[in-house]
Structure 1
Amino acid sequence: MKGKWHYIVIVAFFAYWNVNSLFWLGTSIFGIVLLTGLYSNRVSSLFLFVCTLSFVFFSYYAPAIATNKPVIAGDVIKGIVVSTVKESHHSFLFTIKEKVSNEHVIVYVPKPTQRRGMFQHGAQCTVKGTYEKPTRARNPGNFDYRQYLKKEGISYVMRVQNDDDIVCTGQSRVASILTVREWIMASLEAKLTVDSFAWVNALIFGEDENVSDDIILTFRQWGLSHLLAISGLHVGLITYTTYLFFTRFCLVSKESTSIILIIFLPFYAILAGADPPVLRATIMTVTFLFGNLMNKKWLTSDIVSFAAIVMILSDKYAPYSLSFQFSFLVTFTLLLSKTLFLKSPFWNVLNISFICYFAVIPLQLNVFYFLQPLSLFANLLIVPYFSFFVIPATLLSVLLALFPLHPISEALLSIHHFMITEVALPVLQQVDFTWVIGQISPVSMIFYYCTFVTFMRNWEREKRRSTFLFGVVIVLILIIEALQPYFDRHGYVTMLDVGQGDTIVIELPYRKSVMLIDTANTTPSEQPYGTGEQVIQPFLWSRGIQKVDHVIITHFDEDHVGSLPFILRQFKVENVYTHPTVPEQWEKVLMNVNHEKVKANMDLVVEDIRFEILHPNDDESYEENDRSVVISALLGGQTFLLTGDIGFTVEEELMERYPSLTVDVLKVAHHGSKYSTSEKWIKQVNPKVALISVGRGNRYGHPSEEVLARLKNAGVEVFRTDENGAIMYKFTEKEGTFYPFYP
């Protein structure tokens, strides 16, 4: 098995794939590989037997993340704390392994609390609280917290109401190390400025919550997020400097130094947060040092494989972690391409950046939906800067700050902060070549990696022509993925769940045009983040949308227009349409965009589809809700009526002005307010389907029970974003079907 242990890791990967929804694909690929090995006679029967046995084992070992686990009985749990204690703005949170069921539950304890000292790793706790399911994604392309926790083996959270409801005693040995970690962090926070501590906290302890959002977003957009996390590079630098210090300055033997490192590195891994890249590098380094002590020369690929297997066996959910996937994918790719790194240092750095960039593209598209082609060159400049200056300087700063030399630490970190905020960020933010592709399909991902492996093999063999051709194929795969919507004969209407607000996205067939009707609030009261950033943009990017042809703002209430400035910054917007009475503050926002004011009897014709403006008229005495732009359009053989926030008065006017107005799909006005959608209005427009955009548990009581009763009595099928999440309508020229995100 020497030199072949990485095949066991690959087998484990297919087994995990086999368990989660793609049974036929994982089994089929493994079967093909197995039969190929048998008939080629290039591998031994023993090796194939070990691979088959491993596949069967990991197929039973791998947990299915889609499984709905039952709630633990009662409102009291007893168990052991198995995680570090984290702190948010409003609470402390940690994970408990329940004593009877062995299920993992996240416990939230509100601030302030007198019992913080009880919450230690390994503590035995009795907790009384309320069970909740974690929040789930309510729109396509949005972050799914429930699914994220399932990938960590957690299906439920428990919220504690009072201090008396939780009692913990004892702690593990790991808790002592974590206590040292907290003491060091507190000491550094007291001595360093906010900006300097933010960098130390991120690069030494793996906590990036103090780094500014501006830096995090820019680094993410440029594919530099890995620089804000602790990686194997930290372990390598610490190992190297410690080894030199003891062997050169302290004259300690190499064997004794290796033993010191074998003991010390696991402690450092815990201090650094024990993320997968750190654990991988720690296990690899300890294994390598142990091999040297035993006079064993193990192949690096086998050491990496051993690290992966150890991590999987110690945590069966580890392969679901993105950092695990990124870390091992990049490491294996570089190891299997080591013959390419025999040139000058410059070409070695260039090759490493190139290989790492292309190795993770499918994973990046599955999570972030976009690529930054220029990030290859940004990494060439910024990665060496972090590797040879920032990380060593940060490590040195921590040592100096723990002694009366923290002004030197502050000076080093201030120089770095200046270089990032005043030099790097302005350049990166001005140069934007983001390529939004959308989520890549599983078939394309397989095809991509097969092509990538062939590309790498030809590159190693210096077959330049074949290497170039397969490189072209890799780019073509990405281009085809990006162009797929332009060959889709279907159009889509999506009412996004944006909380208590409105946003409707209309995509015409063959992606001939993209229209956005309203842009929701800036931050819904029930969600602690920006709607544009966390809801609208991820949805559009997951669909491969980077350009919005038309934005219609029905009126200027915050819950319909709040995220417009964000949309104008992040997307190329061709046209914006509003009612004629535009508030002064919004006139300024719309100064640099093609802005047209619309009113009744005007039409917006988009690729042969007529969007008829029915309201407002020339009367300027309306309140803002009643100024809403009302639109009628025929999509997929069904007439849609989009009504903004109009009330009874405007409904009466529309019935008088358009006595023959009937529709198939009615967007219920004002989130289902009892002051809209009268019985007379429903009877005249006679909709078959009603769509209500409304926030869960909103303080206004929307949708009104009266409105729901009127719709029910009229036999109208109702879809609500608070119950169904996003509501999607997929249509062709003559027909369409509704697909609620949650049936």
Structure 2
Amino acid sequence: MFCREKIIVSRARLIWLLLLASTILIIKRPLTGEFTTFDIGQGDAALIRTPLNHTVTVVDTGGQVTFGEKQSWQVKQYERSKGETVIVNYLHSLGIDTIDHLILTHHDQDHIGNAKEILRFMHVKKILMPAGMRSQQSFKAQILPYLKKTEVFEVTESNQVNDLPLHIYHPLTVGQAGNEDSIALYGVLGGMRVLTAGDLDRAGERLLAERHPEMRVDLVKLGHHGSRTATDPITFSKWRPSIGIISAGRNNHYHHPHQETLETVQKNQMSVFNTQIHGMIKYVYRGKNGYFKVKLPHEF
């Protein structure tokens, strides 16, 4: 602005433009990928972003579960959900405005309740959900009214999506989209073998182990928020995971995680990250190397 030398001015402008372009490129196309568990209270929501933002996948959206009817003075005219304040804001901070896959593992409110905010504020190309969910009232009330140009696919293990970063291992058949029908995703991210399976119960975990005896897991999202209904001790002794992630609300109504689950984790000598303690949990990877990063609750 103040230099009279045209050559210096021209070079300064060029350098400034290059720095601006580089910054935008780094934000929009980072060299690292991530598997992030959002701190959204009692519920489940995660992001799988591959390097260079080649694919962006959101697994579940969280959602507020209410017990009993609210009094008139408790009802707010407009209340921003964690889907907007946490998930959407985080994606926007990464320069992401498009989700390639929104995976709804099953129809529980604490997994799909914030889907309408995701569909409202983000461009979503595809929704994947367990076969049989389209006929459920939860889909008709919570998802269908908010669809725009988003394609909806009901899936089983026989329906693999080409650009999905993890493989679909469950459900096996058409069901009612309940816990036992949860979508299970398994694959390798940055050299880490990852399994996340919504609220899949112990019987479902045993079925996965029986159908895939060669299966080993390094990083597992503990099923059903650390409930005793999941994390089968025999199955986990076969999988031998080294790291577990629990997504549960602080002082939640269900008392998740349950003591039985914590004992199973301890017997398997697993390191555990818990959103109740660690807030948002990120596994960041590049190539075959990765590291964990947490964002404590008071930092939001």
1:611 and 2:155 are equivalent in the alignment = no
Q: For the residues of structure 1 that align with 2:254 and 2:91, how far apart are their CA atoms?
A: 29
Counterpart for residue 257 of structure 2: 703
Letter of the 2:166 partner, please give it: F
CA change 1:547–1:619 in 2 (3 A) is closer
Counterpart for residue 592 of structure 1: 149
CA change 1:475–1:548 in 2 (3 A) is farther
Of the candidates 10, 22, 25, which is equivalent to residue 480 of structure 1? 22
Q: For the residues of structure 2 that align with 1:712 and 1:728, how far apart are their CA atoms?
A: 22
CA change 1:597–1:619 in 2 (3 A) is closer
Helix, strand or coil: the match of 1:505? strand
Q: CA deviation at 1:478?
A: 3.8
Q: For the residues of structure 2 that align with 1:486 and 1:545, how far apart are their CA atoms?
A: 7
Helix, strand or coil: the match of 1:575? strand
Q: How does 1:280-299 map to 2 (within 5 A)?
A: none
Letter of the 1:638 partner, please give it: M
Counterpart for residue 74 of structure 2: none
Q: For the residues of structure 2 that align with 1:507 and 1:623, how far apart are their CA atoms?
A: 25
Helix, strand or coil: the match of 1:660? coil
CA change 1:477–1:571 in 2 (3 A) is farther
Q: For the residues of structure 2 that align with 1:522 and 1:468, how far apart are their CA atoms?
A: 55
CA change 1:623–1:507 in 2 (3 A) is closer
Helix, strand or coil: the match of 1:703? coil
Given that 1:614 and 1:630 are in contact with CA atoms closer than 8 Å, whether structure 2 keeps it comes out as: yes
Q: How does 1:354-503 map to 2 (within 5 A)?
A: 454=1, 457=2, 477-485=19-27, 488-503=30-45
Of the candidates 73, 85, 91, which is equivalent to residue 534 of structure 1? 85
Q: Which has the larger radius of gyration?
A: 1
Of the candidates 172, 176, 197, which is equivalent to residue 643 of structure 1? 197
Q: CA deviation at 1:611?
A: 1.9
Q: For the residues of structure 2 that align with 1:666 and 1:689, how far apart are their CA atoms?
A: 6
Q: For the residues of structure 1 that align with 2:128 and 2:146, how far apart are their CA atoms?
A: 13
Letter of the 2:171 partner, please give it: P
CA change 1:544–1:654 in 2 (3 A) is same
Deviations 1:469-495 (A, max 9, x none): 867765654433221045533211111
CA change 1:623–1:649 in 2 (3 A) is farther
Deviations 1:431-455 (A, max 9, x none): xxxxxxxxxxxxxxxxxxxxxxx3x
Q: For the residues of structure 1 that align with 2:91 and 2:184, how far apart are their CA atoms?
A: 24
CA change 1:637–1:597 in 2 (3 A) is same
Of the candidates 669, 686, 689, which is equivalent to residue 240 of structure 2? 686
Sequence identity, in percent?
30
Counterpart for residue 572 of structure 1: 123
Q: For the residues of structure 2 that align with 1:505 and 1:493, how far apart are their CA atoms?
A: 6
1:717 and 2:271 are equivalent in the alignment = yes
Q: How does 1:131-210 map to 2 (within 5 A)?
A: none
Given that 2:246 and 2:273 are in contact with CA atoms closer than 8 Å, whether structure 1 keeps it comes out as: yes
Q: For the residues of structure 1 that align with 2:80 and 2:27, how far apart are their CA atoms?
A: 29
Name the structure where helix makes up a greater proportion of residues: 1
Moved more, 585-594 or 679-688: 585-594
Q: CA deviation at 1:537?
A: 1.7
CA change 1:591–1:539 in 2 (3 A) is closer
Q: For the residues of structure 1 that align with 2:102 and 2:177, how far apart are their CA atoms?
A: 22
Counterpart for residue 543 of structure 1: 94
Counterpart for residue 150 of structure 1: none
Q: For the residues of structure 2 that align with 1:641 and 1:479, how far apart are their CA atoms?
A: 37
Q: CA deviation at 1:708?
A: 0.6
CA change 1:567–1:468 in 2 (3 A) is farther
CA change 1:487–1:558 in 2 (3 A) is closer
Q: For the residues of structure 2 that align with 1:634 and 1:568, how far apart are their CA atoms?
A: 28
Given that 1:515 and 1:550 are in contact with CA atoms closer than 8 Å, whether structure 2 keeps it comes out as: yes
Deviations 1:490-521 (A, max 9, x none): 21111111111111111211222211111111
Q: For the residues of structure 2 that align with 1:495 and 1:668, how far apart are their CA atoms?
A: 12
Name the structure where strand makes up a greater proportion of residues: 2
Deviations 1:358-382 (A, max 9, x none): xxxxxxxxxxxxxxxxxxxxxxxxx
CA change 1:477–1:724 in 2 (3 A) is same
CA change 1:466–1:732 in 2 (3 A) is closer
Of the candidates 206, 210, 226, which is equivalent to residue 672 of structure 1? 226
Given that 1:523 and 1:530 are in contact with CA atoms closer than 8 Å, whether structure 2 keeps it comes out as: no
Q: For the residues of structure 2 that align with 1:654 and 1:497, how far apart are their CA atoms?
A: 28
Alignment length, in residue pairs? 280
Q: For the residues of structure 2 that align with 1:566 and 1:481, how far apart are their CA atoms?
A: 29
Helix, strand or coil: the match of 1:681? helix
Q: For the residues of structure 1 that align with 2:170 and 2:198, how far apart are their CA atoms?
A: 10
Q: For the residues of structure 2 that align with 1:470 and 1:674, how far apart are their CA atoms?
A: 62
Letter of the 2:191 partner, please give it: G
Structure 2: any 5+ residue segments left out of the alignment? 68-78
Helix, strand or coil: the match of 1:605? coil
Q: CA deviation at 1:524?
A: 8.7
> Structure with the greater relative contact order (CA < 8 A, sep ≥ 6): 1 or 2?
2
Counterpart for residue 508 of structure 1: 50
Q: C-alpha root-mean-square deviation of aligned residues, in Å? A: 2.8
Q: How does 1:316-331 map to 2 (within 5 A)?
A: none
Q: For the residues of structure 2 that align with 1:534 and 1:486, how far apart are their CA atoms?
A: 21
Q: CA deviation at 1:706?
A: 1.0
Q: CA deviation at 1:594?
A: 1.6
Q: For the residues of structure 2 that align with 1:603 and 1:728, how far apart are their CA atoms?
A: 26
Q: CA deviation at 1:465?
A: 10
Counterpart for residue 289 of structure 2: 735
Deviations 1:214-241 (A, max 9, x none): xxxxxxxxxxxxxxxxxxxxxxxxxxxx
Letter of the 1:503 partner, please give it: A
Q: For the residues of structure 2 that align with 1:472 and 1:563, how far apart are their CA atoms?
A: 44
Counterpart for residue 555 of structure 1: 106
CA change 1:480–1:524 in 2 (3 A) is farther
Letter of the 2:151 partner, please give it: N
Q: CA deviation at 1:468?
A: 8.8
Q: CA deviation at 1:602?
A: 2.8
Q: For the residues of structure 2 that align with 1:511 and 1:485, how far apart are their CA atoms?
A: 10
Letter of the 1:539 partner, please give it: Y
Structure 1: any 5+ residue segments left out of the alignment? 1-453
CA change 1:503–1:530 in 2 (3 A) is same
Helix, strand or coil: the match of 2:157? coil
Counterpart for residue 581 of structure 1: 132
Q: For the residues of structure 2 that align with 1:610 and 1:487, how far apart are their CA atoms?
A: 17
CA change 1:524–1:509 in 2 (3 A) is farther
Helix, strand or coil: the match of 2:35? strand
